[in-house]
Amino acid sequence: MFFSFIVPLIYFIFANGFFVMISKQTFGKCMPITMMITAFTYFFSQFLCHTFKVGLIINLLYAIIFIIVLITLKLKNQNQELDNIKKRFLSKGFYAFIVIFIIIYIFDFNRTFSYWDEYSHWGEMIKEMLRIDRFYSEPKSTLLFHKDYPPIMQIFEMFYATLSGGYKEAYFQRAMHLFSMTLFIPAICENNQKFSKIKISLKSIFMIIIIFLAFLLFDQHGIINTIYQDYVMVIIVAYLLLVIITEKNTLSKFSVFSLTIGLSFLLLTKQMGLALYCMVIFMLIADLLLKYKFKFYNIFQKKNLVLLIIIIVPLIFLKGWDMYVETLNIEKQFKLSDIKIMELKSIIDGTAGESYQQEAAHNYIHALKTTGMMTTKISFTYFQCVLLSILLLYFVWLYGKGVFTKKQIILLGITLVIGSIGYAFTMLILYVFNFGSYEGPILASFNRYMPSYILLLLSTIIMLYIYADNKKDKPIKYGLLLIIILLLIENPYLLYKCKPIIKESNQERVYINIIKKNTPENAKIFVLSQNQKIDLNDNTLQIKYYINPRLTNLDYSMWNIEEASTVQEYFEKNIQNYMLDFDYFYILNFGNINIEDCQFLFDDYSNVKNNQLYKIINNEGKIKLKFVQ
């Protein structure tokens, strides 16, 4: 426990010190960049050396070099240079980071996975990279879903887990939350060096609670305690918008580097990052026009060349990943070739396209008009939340007069409104053309995808409010008042679900240990889970996750015996040929099947019961099951 706390904390402090030293920026401004760079170091290590181990060595060198430089300066009595580094290193962001690290360590102490997608791919991606020391997209990976997904956040989670001592679900959760909250540090404290250590610590505690409670207001899908990447993606966008608005010199070396690496990280976080990338670039160009009166007709002007770097480098990263995926012949979930924009209007009118596409378009437009985005009793629809956010942005400007200019806030408001329309239109396209005949009409994960953009607005507003609040040096009591207000309107059940988990739960159940003990790693396990109601804790995807790299069945985990006159007839027509491809048969739950009706499968069926493992014997095309344990 101590190792998983102290090693990541010490590493990020000293690794960040290296970037403080070479950038001559304060600790808090560098920390988001440091975390991104550690992930990109792993990313390049895999591409260039086909291993993450080189990346681990280079990452460790960042911290080691900083320590060596400090010792050298001390021995050579170069006190002036040493004092300059210490001043930037021990800035208010240093104390804010330690406070945030401790809070998140406690909050995610023994937290485990709780949602389908964590078992099917998000968690499996990290687990596979740890196992094979390659990207999860490689053929040797046993990942079954979304091998085309960009990998950067999973890489950061893997690196954090390595620092913490290896594989554990709580480490992945902790990495996700730490990265997200670190993006708020520049707003929390680095623009006001008058704060005392106690005040900045209290301010950090209040701010992280406010951010958490504000996110809960829109977390309809309940993913704040998961490693789903929707929320970290929108916080990255808010961070980039903050850099654009608050940096006096948007084209300084550090700002350009921050924007370039931040946008690259965004594009490699999730596919939807491309739409949000366009919004950030729009805001950047508009802000530059406002600040510098750009002359875009002269493409070789120095400022234009710098802008091209910010725009093009992230796209190169994205294209590089896409080319890598294409070389592996991996089928992509979202294909641009499937999107036929010119047909969209006719599909909405019901005069073109497939019937499921028309239904998806109709349901989506209706949901935008009627579905609330909030977890409270009083809720607002998507565009009502957008309008409310713009109103809050106006109040933040009033509060922060003298900190932000009126033109900046108007420009930001226009960008966010255009972004909300673009985001909604992008999701319409995806539901109609890319989600398919089942997920499209039912608007799969609508209550996760749409509130995500509202949380982008909220993250931006919170960052600007905190930044303005620090500039004005307002008393901490205002933060406490806001916490009380948020607590009063929160859903108590959501607050209860988010409590820290002090006692470790044993997710790897007895049946998983039976399989791992009695089967080789390359085995294929057919799991029967004949439940009338699907239980997250009793499904083949979760079992597959824990017995990795063994494979499990995706089909026929439940037998629809009503389709035939006997169990044997149904089995021989539907399951037998499919099951011959497997090595073992595990009975998780026989459910409503009469075991006597299955005697044709067993040599001795008198002792057959749940939680038993059998070897599958191919007897001239007929299956026989031999008891193992």
Residue-wise pLDDT for 214-230, tens only, equals: 999 999 888 899 999 99
467-477: average pLDDT: 71
3-state DSSP assignment of residue 153: helix
- Residue 143 shares a structural domain with residue 24: yes
Question: Of 333, 355, 385, which one is at a domain's C-terminal end?
Answer: 333
- The answer to whether 189 and 203 have CB atoms below 8 angstroms apart is yes
Does residue 482 fall inside a structural domain?
Answer: no
User: What phi and psi values does residue 144 have, to the nearest 5 degrees?
Assistant: -100, -25
Does residue 504 fall inside a structural domain?
Answer: no
478-507: average pLDDT: 79
Q: What is the mean pLDDT of the chain?
A: 89
- The answer to whether 584 and 523 have CB atoms below 8 angstroms apart is yes
What is the span of the domain harbouring residue 623?
510-627
69-91: average pLDDT: 90
Instruction: List Cα–Cα distances, 168 to 83, 106, 173, 246, in angstroms.
Output: 40, 15, 9, 38
Does residue 514 fall inside a structural domain?
Answer: yes
410 Cα distance to chain centroid: 30
pLDDT band at 339 (very low <50, low <70, confident <90, very high): confident
- The three-state DSSP-derived secondary structure of 16-77 is HHHHHHHHCCCHHHHHHHHHHHHHHHHHHHHHHHCCCHHHHHHHHHHHHHHHHHHHHHHHCC
Does residue 457 fall inside a structural domain?
Answer: yes
pLDDT band at 10 (very low <50, low <70, confident <90, very high): very high
Q: Hunting for tokens 């409104």 — which residue is that? A: 417
Residue among 616, 619, 559 nearest 589 (CA): 559
- The answer to whether 277 and 267 have CB atoms below 8 angstroms apart is yes
Separation of alpha carbons 93 and 113, rounded Å: 31
Residue among 171, 164, 150, 158 nearest 129 (CA): 158
What is the number of structural domains in the chain? 4
Separation of alpha carbons 127 and 240, rounded Å: 30
Task: Name the percent of the chain lying above pLDDT 70.
Answer: 93
Give me the pLDDT at residue 555, please: 85
Tokens representing 372? 């609330």
pLDDT band at 473 (very low <50, low <70, confident <90, very high): low
Give me the pLDDT at residue 305, please: 82
Cis bond before residue 150 (omega within 30° of 0): no
Count of positions (residues) in the chain: 629
Which alpha helices (H) appear in 90-229, and where do they start and end?
Answer: 92-107, 116-117, 123-132, 152-164, 169-182, 185-188, 197-216
- The answer to whether 111 and 170 have CB atoms below 8 angstroms apart is yes
Higher pLDDT, 289 or 259: 259
Tokens representing 20? 């403080």
pTM of the model: 0.93
- The answer to whether 479 and 466 have CB atoms below 8 angstroms apart is no
Sign of CA dihedral 201, 205, 211, 214: negative
Question: Of 306, 333, 360, which one is at a domain's C-terminal end?
Answer: 333
Give me the pLDDT at residue 469, please: 79
Give me the pLDDT at residue 598, please: 87
3-state DSSP assignment of residue 211: helix
Minimum mean pLDDT among 45-49, 145-149, 405-409, 479-483: which range?
A: 479-483
- Residue 172 shares a structural domain with residue 24: yes
- Residue 170 shares a structural domain with residue 265: no
Does residue 497 fall inside a structural domain?
Answer: no
How many CB atoms lie under 10 A from the CB of residue 372?
18
End-to-end CA separation in angstroms for the chain: 34
- Residue 201 shares a structural domain with residue 65: yes
* 278: Cβ contacts below 8 Å, ≥ 6 apart: 422
Residue-wise pLDDT for 296-334, tens only, equals: 555 556 677 888 899 999 999 999 999 999 999 988 777
Question: Of 455, 474, 493, which one is at a domain's C-terminal end?
Answer: 474
- Residue 184 shares a structural domain with residue 38: yes
- Residue 329 shares a structural domain with residue 347: no
Does residue 500 fall inside a structural domain?
Answer: no
Residue-wise pLDDT for 351-395, tens only, equals: 888 999 999 999 999 999 999 999 988 889 999 999 999 999 999
- Residue 2 shares a structural domain with residue 75: yes
Does residue 486 fall inside a structural domain?
Answer: no
- Helix, strand, coil shares of the chain as percentages rounded to 5? 65, 5, 30
pLDDT at 23 over 90: yes
pLDDT at 552 over 60: yes
- Residue 285 shares a structural domain with residue 365: no
- Residue 175 shares a structural domain with residue 43: yes
How many CB atoms lie under 10 A from the CB of residue 131?
16
Separation of alpha carbons 589 and 535, rounded Å: 11
Q: Hunting for tokens 């094979």 — which residue is that? A: 132
Separation of alpha carbons 504 and 337, rounded Å: 47
- Residue 11 shares a structural domain with residue 140: yes
- Residue 350 shares a structural domain with residue 373: yes
Question: Angle 172-544-598 (CA atoms, 0-180°, nearest 5)?
Answer: 155
- Residue 145 shares a structural domain with residue 192: yes
Does residue 431 fall inside a structural domain?
Answer: yes
pLDDT at 532 over 60: no
3-state DSSP assignment of residue 286: helix
